[in-house]
Amino acid sequence: MGFPGTWMTESESVVYRVVPKCACSTIGQIMFYSDHGRFFDGDIHDAAAGMHKWSMEASQPLIERNVKAHKSFAFTCVRNPYARILSSFFDKIAGIQRNGKRYRGNLVPQLAQKYGIDVGSPENGFEFDQIASFRRFLLFARDTIRWRRPMEPDIHWSAMSGHVSTFIVNGGRYNRIFFTERFNEGMQQVLDGIETPVKVDLKAIPRFNESEGHGPARAHEVSAYFDDLSRHLVWEIYKKDFQLFRYDFDNPDNKFPIAEIDLDEVHARLGD
């Protein structure tokens, strides 16, 4: 199993477990900058040199040795489950990807056929019923996670606790888990805990949102997308995320956590 989704700086100053849709582009660029004094030219997910990634075979023994010995500061970042699943829908389902195509080729036509989802197109200005289509997408996301049908769950909408747990189960331990909604505060605490070859001034770092501008903007407040059934589905999929990462299930419009994360609890509950 190893450590999927794990990135490490070449200097081994820090180890990061990627959680999709949780500021991972910005975090990756900060890590790259902290070693090289420059940003990667392009989407950091495409970088095949300049940092270690579990997806690169040569990096695997280095990451494994480091993580199992708890040699470097290790962290990850989480996000409100309501906002995260909405972001996944608007980016991956309703949006056009960087390559100019739909995400995963025939996925959107499949969703139109099997779940009645309509996401418009650039030609009609992405005109569609966002609330109705999102709720149908949520049913599809639940089906993939619960029954792995009509496909395996996608990393962008599978539960954060699942991503976070693989690192723990295989012998890693987090020094910090922080909130996307309090990014500067959390990332600064990470930087304060490590020594980097290049000093990072967080206030001067731009945000790298690789999904922005490729699709429709969200037209309503978060709560408008979640009726009683939708919230039941969200609880079914993300119950552990709400509980462990302290987000407010009762108020979808409150994007902020309602308490601090208990790292010991996270390791105990996700380490089985």
**Global pTM value:** 0.95
- Is residue 157 scored above 70 in pLDDT? yes
- Is residue 100 scored above 90 in pLDDT? no
What pLDDT is attached to residue 123? 82
Provide the pLDDT confidence category of residue 215 given band limits of 50, 70 and 90: confident
What pLDDT is attached to residue 245? 98
Domain count, the chain: 2
Nearest residue to 181 via CA among 82, 72, 54: 82
| Mean pLDDT confidence for 90-104 | 90
Provide the pLDDT confidence category of residue 213 given band limits of 50, 70 and 90: low
Eight-class DSSP state of 50: S
Q: Is residue 119 part of a domain?
A: yes
- Is residue 138 scored above 70 in pLDDT? yes
Sign, Cα dihedral of 24, 29, 34, 35: positive
| Mean pLDDT confidence for 138-147 | 96
Nearest residue to 67 via CA among 49, 54, 56, 51: 54
108 shares its domain with 172: no
263-270 and 228-245 are packed helices; what angle lies between their axes, rounded to 10 degrees? 110
| Mean pLDDT confidence for 36-64 | 97
Burial group, residue 229, by CB count within 10 angstroms (0-12, 13-18, 19+): exposed
Range of the domain at 170: 6-80+156-204
What pLDDT is attached to residue 166? 97
What pLDDT is attached to residue 212? 61
Q: Is residue 229 part of a domain?
A: yes
What pLDDT is attached to residue 142? 97
222 shares its domain with 194: no
What pLDDT is attached to residue 211? 61
48 shares its domain with 18: yes
What are 73-84's pLDDT values in tens digits? 999 999 999 999
Residue type, 172: G
142 shares its domain with 22: no
Provide the pLDDT confidence category of residue 183 given band limits of 50, 70 and 90: very high
